[in-house]
Structure 1
Amino acid sequence: MIDTGGQPSKLRKEEWLRENPIYQNTVACEKRFNPDFSLSQLHFHEFLEISIIAEGSGIHRIWNRVLTCRKGDVYVLNAGVPHEYFVKDGEEKLVIRNILFDVEDWFTGDLALPDSPRFCYGIFDEDILSAYVSLKGRSMETVERIYQAIEKETAEKEPEWMEAVKAQLILLLIAIRRHLEESSTDSSVTPRDRMVVSTAMRLVREQYFDKELTLESIADSLYLSKSYLSKLFCRVTGEHFSEYLRSVRLQQACRLLRDTQLTNEQIVYGCGLKDVPSFYQLFKAKLSMTPNRYRTETRKTIQNKEGKGEPNMSILTDISENLQRGKAKVVKELVQQAVDEGIPVEQILSEGLLDGMGIIGEKFKNNEVYVPEVLVAARAMNMGAQVLKPLMAEAGVKATGKVCIGTVQGDLHDIGKNLVKMMMEGKGLEVVDLGTDVAPETYVQTAIEQGCQVICCSALLTTTMGVMEEVVKKAEEAGIRDKVKIMVGGAPVTEEYCRKIGADRYTPDAASAADAAVELCAAC
């Protein structure tokens, strides 16, 4: 199957890699080579990529190197290598087969360590970032056969399919290694130099919206001097760092102009640009038109290609990303825009709001973000949800479950309870908040009257833990114990205590509590 959409966004890649640890596609390249193509426009991903030129010939730009590629060429690129394929003038097509995967998902020990000579079976030789071979005849047939075998196993997912795919990946890497002719390295810079620059580029793409992001701040985070990183960046990429940063910000501004209804002031803020006048000046200098004209012309082009009136589904990604950054006002505006464009309410909720909150929950669970980030993200979700609530009943959208939550009698702490509530709402659950100092009878009565599937009890004081056992007993006395699950949590609570009092589930943190509540509601 051939598509012309290229690779999915970084965010989407991370999502599908959680369930599908290997990705394949066949791309019909349509871009014509332009020597002025910006470094910021090159593909930049977090996974190892094997690219097989299946048909035609063209240009492959890796970093600032321009290479001719043709049928039979195979490139292996490590994570963080910016590159792009182009069709040469006079050529009709260039077809590339891609395989992307995270090395650590498939290999262990020396095979997964970039510093090791055995990394990926020595495929990179002395260059730990990129390698190249040119194959013909039987060698090319072997590689194509392995590619098809991986594709078949991934599609069918028969028992032990991952073991079969791993075996094929090993065969593929060894086959490429045996025919390795030369590394696509540049002797003027070392692999280590490119790794440093690659890290700097990754930081720019992750933090471009921060107005305080500068060469100096990135140099500090890498424990380098500003002047050293500046010279190294220019030597490795052929571009100045300041130009690269501007290009990334401008590229994101173009995306927002094309895919959203954000004002120019909001775009300036969201892309870390200085102010509206300088934004206009930069935009006209680079694209020879104003931002408003760009928005009008690109949308006309999209409508001509896709048909008038088609809803813009990329807005859901914008909702998710802005929610993760805690931009409540922007999220609310984007949700309203999505509604106005006719996107189904359930889709806005699941692919926009819940998607963003789910990512925040995973990051919180992995200690990648902390309570303040979760709180501002939850506030942004609530702002978006306010727009959808009146429409959800009309559309028949139902919550994934219903729970009641409160801090037990004698305990007035509510920060942990509120955080759990936010996480649960971020999973699409309807949450009845009973507040603090909640008596056992209140939990049970609320569960009966409101039809809750789960009762959630929080305690921050050792002296109040005993109330949780009373909640379990009251549920048994009311005859609902077989219908309602009971969750417990809080600083002094443990798994052992949960089992001792007969509760159903203990979770150590808010994100895990939300996941457990969804699971328990589904089981009821």
Structure 2
Amino acid sequence: MNRDQIAAGDGLTHRGFVIAGHFNEPDTYSCVRAEGMKDWLITYTLGGEGYFEVPGQRLVCKENDITLLRPGTPHQYGTVKGGHWHFVWAHFDDKHLHTRVLPDKPLYNLTLQNESAKKRIYRAFMKILSDSREQYDYWNDLCLNSLNEILILLARRRERRLDSRIEEVLHRLSRDMHKPIKIEELAGSVHLSASRLSHLFKACTGQSIIDALNQMRIRQAALLLEHTDRSAAEISYDVGFQSYNHFINQFHKWLDMSPSDYRKTKRSAAL
């Protein structure tokens, strides 16, 4: 079996996961499958350009493009002439996956635009490569977990369709929720002015940045109240509020009760 046959997934289906690889190919690289494949192919282009051809469509995939090819789709793919194609790929079947995470098109492409998404999906691919090569106990389950992470992130982007800069800001808010937030620094991280970011954020989410942050903090506080024995004051600090009175006010705003009443209500319901 040659390298192109491996990349095409010939006869390699294994408990829901097939095989993965990391290629950097010149423009002589191509693979033709007139009858399609039995499994899915996913690629993540890291550099250069590749192409996919299916009936009625030709797609050129560039850096940061994720491409999915549906089973049974006649196709050809390879490196664009005059260049190279640097990409990671995996073949898989869908018997262990929820159909909602998979696109309904024969050929689907999404360009990743925010840095957190690029890093997270790249890390997931690297875990697939490592686990599939080492093949220690549960290696295939670990590969499927990483693959599911990639597909769920893509499905969320298809459904939410947020501006990539707002996605990045939401990621930073959740990551640094416990820290003081400066809108000027957030705006700079996505190359916008503070006023432009505030306007775009409100247009995309229906909330101000501060309201979105406070809602995240209160959601986390509610979970901690329900599932830990930490005091409300400790939890207030844990989630990023510098003033306990402000925490109480925000808790009332978003959940319409005090933290102590919320804890009593949830624990009584669990009895």
Return the TM-score normalized by structure 1.
Answer: 0.27
In our comparison, the structure showing a higher alpha carbon Rg is 1
Q: Which has the higher contact order (CA 8 A, sep 6+)?
A: 2
